[in-house]
Structure 1
């Protein structure tokens, strides 16, 4: 038996605004399960929205509740294997791992046809209590989970970006960017910055990044954006129209989660362009759907999670071809989780990605 303590420190979500730091039983491995000692866990915008009670997570506005509380939040984690079940053949104690944020059922029609990220049951770490997340000292990677080895020499600040950057890559894959395309990416948070690197790999004719935060725009420029614009300072729709001879951009990727960014995208995209919606919204968004149909005949795509992206992203983060420098700006202990959530939610103190490090 490994020397795992019986109890561990964990953040537990009970209800909107009711999150508590507690001592809870440490998970143990049976079957082919894997237990990791959590090195770090990023705080996602979704975690913050869940804390503040977004109907998307807790139910309401026609949505059934998605969160099964009490649950330990956190899906952007990396850790070291400390225990494996007797049936585990691939991973061993000492391996450093991440896991796809969804634990598929492998039995529904989506799972059976290779589309596991749309699993009907849809267990995502940190939202259901049968798949508790990474805001704890230890974490169980259950049967059916998709696990990947991470180079041991990769700094934790880079390893924590594997999950968000895998989501970024999937979104960019959905956009199907070619090297003649004029691409506008709205949003330069962690996921937007991951998209900048992924878009650069596809070598579009022009990449314009929009954000209200000039420090993030500076980072986007450093990561490979051709042009950066702040909608607070310039009329971005007019600017994009000027740059494209009045036609509009070929591809618009929405990664802010603000309704105004959706409206702005529909205005600046060309006829028959491709609009990719990535965000989770805190509130309902209303737009003129006639633009999508009658005016412009748009291709409209959603993007969810990060199927088949982890292995490439781990390789690209490790070899530096997906830029990561300076994206993780803040690290807090579990004791300071409240401060971590506050800064992640407000973007205060020039924060981009905020992480919880249980060992701090």
Structure 2
């Protein structure tokens, strides 16, 4: 049984993250992966701030402190157990599971990995999970030719979804965010209009732009109570409300409008379907990226060494202009 010694991130409590040494044994149904690159997810930031969600099927470890953090990464298979038949040493893979991925090496089961498709550059493939999730949302959010589309949130996912919506034929794509820097980036990447929260009311602006009708599609990628309710109010009658973000605490919503205006709700959370469905859908979601139709590199704003895990998370916590923060082993 092969063993690997690795540095790995452990979240001991709110704002208390450190690298520890772990020994990983490659059991008979295990796969050991050497990491190429890792990314901070919005959920990682929430956990770092002490907002752990209730336990769900997605978590194979209890969401409580100390928490072995990380799920966005990819790399090369270094060892496989005797019962593993679908991956081999040398395979390039993307992680799709909470495997303590802020580490030099991580251990996973077959269902938590995905082969790298289309010979993607590993710098991009290592972020395959967040890219595929956002792309899946953009490709399945129901945008039709000529639609007026609003993306609530100009983070990593929101920027990708906005690009998808425009490529799919939306007549107007509007990105809403509180930060001017993210809005400038959205315009650079193809958004038609932007709305800066704090400077203007997004609902009033959308209603004015659509002559009182409201948006055809709103994708919620900000993850706040205010964002959910603004999305609800700016949709037209029978409009499409697209779920993307993960809200880990209870919020109050205007359910009456959901009912009375017959809003259509679309859940586009790729990783929360079965792993078999994800295995099929991920290559489809990543194909436009491989074809160069969607820009990813401008969204990667900061990079650190894994040894600088504290500095990276401090930046993520304090500077929301950082769209995607990455680490290398």
CA contact (8 A) 2:140 2:268 kept: yes
Q: For residue 216 of structure 1, report the CA deviation from its aligned partner.
A: 1.2
Give the alignment partner of residue 274 of structure 1, picking from 219, 233, 240. 240
Helix, strand or coil at the partner of 2:33: strand
Helix, strand or coil at the partner of 2:298: coil
CA contact (8 A) 1:13 1:73 kept: yes
CA contact (8 A) 1:78 1:159 kept: yes
Number of aligned pairs? 318
Q: Report the equivalent of 1:44.
A: 41
Counterparts of 1:274-353 in structure 2 under 5 Å?
274-294=240-260, 296-306=261-271, 307=278, 308-348=280-320, 350-353=321-324
Counterparts of 1:1-360 in structure 2 under 5 Å?
6-31=4-29, 33-57=30-54, 66-67=62-63, 70-101=66-97, 125=98, 132-150=99-117, 154=121, 156=123, 158-294=124-260, 296-306=261-271, 307=278, 308-348=280-320, 350-358=321-329
Q: For residue 149 of structure 1, report the CA deviation from its aligned partner.
A: 2.2
In 2, distance between residues paired with 1:15 and 1:72?
11
In 1, distance between residues paired with 2:303 and 2:208?
42
In 1, distance between residues paired with 2:282 and 2:244?
18
In 2, distance between residues paired with 1:66 and 1:181?
42
Helix, strand or coil at the partner of 1:11: strand
CA-based RMSD of the aligned residues comes to 2.5
Q: What is the CA deviation profile of residues 247-272 of structure 1, one whole-angstrom value per residue up to 9, with x for unaligned ones? A: 10011111111211112112211111
CA contact (8 A) 1:50 1:57 kept: no
Helix, strand or coil at the partner of 2:137: helix
TM-score between both structures, scaled by the size of structure 1: 0.80
CA contact (8 A) 2:94 2:127 kept: no
Q: What is the CA deviation profile of residues 74-98 of structure 1, one whole-angstrom value per residue up to 9, with x for unaligned ones? A: 1110111111223434433222210
Q: What is the CA deviation profile of residues 45-82 of structure 1, one whole-angstrom value per residue up to 9, with x for unaligned ones? A: 101111222152579xxxxx952665431111011111
Q: Report the equivalent of 2:275.
A: none
CA contact (8 A) 1:11 1:135 kept: yes
In 2, distance between residues paired with 1:53 and 1:204?
38
In 2, distance between residues paired with 1:209 and 1:175?
15
In 1, distance between residues paired with 2:68 and 2:119?
26
Q: Report the equivalent of 1:105.
A: none
CA contact (8 A) 1:168 1:192 kept: yes
CA distance 1:143–1:277, shift in 2 (3 Å)? closer
TM-score between both structures, scaled by the size of structure 2: 0.87
Q: Which runs of 5+ in 1 are unaligned?
A: 60-64, 102-124, 126-131
Q: What is the CA deviation profile of residues 208-249 of structure 1, one whole-angstrom value per residue up to 9, with x for unaligned ones? A: 111111221122222221222212223322221122121100
CA contact (8 A) 1:98 1:150 kept: no
CA contact (8 A) 2:52 2:64 kept: no
Q: What is the CA deviation profile of residues 176-209 of structure 1, one whole-angstrom value per residue up to 9, with x for unaligned ones? A: 1111311111111011112123223322222111
In 1, distance between residues paired with 2:254 and 2:162?
28
